[in-house]
């Protein structure tokens, strides 16, 4: 269990779900904590699943039955890669979209350093190039798109350029965002609770008629 999942489960301890609507693929499920406050809700219709939560909202679009798709892709273990490509909207915090992936500064530094120090330059040149990398890229890197531009236009006194289409430009310099993972854990939690409640109802009806 990672820190984000543990943090979510601690927040959701003792929570119950309220199924506001359960009409085929059209569902509305709310998660209520002890204080009576809603911490998130899931709404599905057509090929869409939307989660509104205390940390933001994500909308996913793909199959007609999004609840069933989530069961297949993310249960029993959440698989963030399976849904990253079907996000149609993401929360905005401080005027920036909280996309499923965000810049990981440690991964970025490691990828940049690997290329600089495996180049054919002398050690002295490599050290000077790295100093420019720190100034021109690492100190200014904020998000993935801006960082890729900084890398593409990096100006080295020794003609050094980062390889095009290499790891410094791809998802290896990023990690899944806190908001995205939190919402996936929330959806998993709600579906598990929903399935448990349906199973209990079915079991009760079975006992009633036997």
The answer to whether residues 145 and 75 belong to one domain is no
Structural domain total, the chain: 2
The answer to whether residues 25 and 85 belong to one domain is yes
Nearest to 30 by CA among 53, 7, 46, 10: 53
Q: Which is higher by pLDDT, 63 or 62? A: 62
What's the rounded Cα separation, in Å, for the pair 15 and 196? Answer: 14
What's the rounded Cα separation, in Å, for the pair 44 and 37? Answer: 21
Say what the pLDDT of residue 96 is: 59
Domain, as residue range, for 135? 103-175
Stretch 175-183: mean pLDDT: 91
The answer to whether residues 52 and 36 belong to one domain is yes
The answer to whether residues 11 and 89 belong to one domain is yes
The answer to whether residues 89 and 111 belong to one domain is no
Coil, strand or helix at 147: helix
The answer to whether residues 48 and 124 belong to one domain is no
Stretch 76-102: mean pLDDT: 80
What's the rounded Cα separation, in Å, for the pair 63 and 60? Answer: 10
Stretch 172-187: mean pLDDT: 91
Cα 51 to chain centroid distance, Å, stands at 13
Say what the pLDDT of residue 145 is: 84
The answer to whether residues 69 and 93 belong to one domain is yes
**In sequence order, which ranges of the chain are alpha helices (DSSP H)?**
3-11, 66-74, 80-83, 105-117, 123-133, 144-152, 178-208
The string of pLDDT tens digits covering residues 118-161 is 999 999 999 999 999 999 999 999 888 899 999 999 998 899 99
The answer to whether residues 7 and 88 belong to one domain is yes
Going 61 to 63 to 64 to 65, the CA torsion angle's sign is negative
Per the CB < 8 A criterion, the answer to whether 4 and 181 are in contact is yes
The answer to whether residues 65 and 145 belong to one domain is no
The answer to whether residues 56 and 30 belong to one domain is yes
The answer to whether residues 160 and 96 belong to one domain is no
Say what the pLDDT of residue 208 is: 53
Cα 195 to chain centroid distance, Å, stands at 24
Q: Percentage of residues in the chain with pLDDT exceeding 70? A: 92
The answer to whether residues 95 and 192 belong to one domain is yes
Say what the pLDDT of residue 13 is: 85
Residue 51 pairs with which residues in a beta bridge? 42, 58
Say what the pLDDT of residue 202 is: 59
């Amino acid at each position: 269990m990672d820190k984000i999942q543990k943090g979510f489960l601690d927040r959701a301890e003792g929570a119950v779900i309220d199924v506001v609507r359960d009409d085929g693929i059209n569902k509305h499920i709310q998660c209520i904590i002890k204080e009576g406050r809603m911490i998130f809700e899931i709404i599905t219709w057509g090929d869409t699943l939307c989660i509104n939560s205390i940390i933001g909202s994500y909308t996913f679009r793909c199959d007609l039955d999004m609840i069933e798709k989530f069961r297949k892709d993310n249960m029993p273990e959440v698989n963030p890669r399976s849904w990253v490509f079907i996000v149609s909207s993401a929360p905005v915090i401080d005027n920036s979209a909280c996309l499923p992936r965000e810049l990981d500064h440690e991964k970025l530094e490691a990828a940049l350093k690997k290329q600089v120090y495996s180049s054919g330059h002398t050690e002295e040149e490599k050290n000077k190039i790295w100093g420019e990398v720190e100034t021109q890229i690492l100190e200014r890197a904020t998000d993935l798109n801006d960082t890729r531009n900084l890398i593409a236009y990096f100006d080295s006194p020794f003609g050094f350029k980062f390889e095009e289409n290499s790891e410094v430009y791809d998802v290896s310099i990023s990690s899944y965002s806190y908001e995205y993972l939190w919402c996936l854990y929330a959806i998993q939690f709600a579906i598990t609770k929903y399935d448990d409640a349906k199973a209990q109802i079915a079991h009760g009806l079975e006992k009633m008629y036997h």
